[in-house]
């Protein structure tokens, strides 16, 4: 959680996710005051990998405006 809250004071606009451990409750209100607009899911190095696509679909449900506090794009 501390890693995500660090973005509140950062000027970063993209967050790269490399974990399979996120849950909806874990990311709740985590991006509320940040400048993050894009979230890249890279579980495996190849961007077209089946695993990445599975987690992109899963994380799109987690990173909604109602859950994290702002509208972001999950790629």
Domain ranges in the chain?
2-74
pLDDT at 63: 94
Q: What is the pLDDT of residue 49?
A: 84
Q: Is the dihedral of CA 68, 70, 71, 75 positive or negative?
A: negative
Is residue 58 within 8 A of residue 27, CB to CB? The reply is no
Cα 62 versus chain centre, distance: 8
Cα dihedral across residues 27, 23, 2, 12: positive or negative: negative
Tally the residues of the chain: 75
β-pairing, 14-17 with 38-41?
A: parallel
State residue 2's pLDDT score.
47
Q: Give per-10-residue mean pLDDT for the chain (75 aa).
A: 60 89 89 89 82 93 93 94
């Amino acid at each position: 959680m501390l890693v995500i809250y660090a973005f509140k004071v950062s000027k970063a606009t993209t967050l790269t996710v490399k974990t399979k451990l996120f849950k909806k409750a874990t990311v709740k209100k985590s991006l509320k005051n940040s400048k993050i607009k894009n979230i890249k899911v890279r579980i495996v190095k190849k961007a077209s990998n089946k695993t990445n696509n599975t987690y992109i679909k899963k994380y799109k449900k987690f990173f909604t405006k109602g859950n994290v506090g702002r509208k972001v794009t999950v790629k």
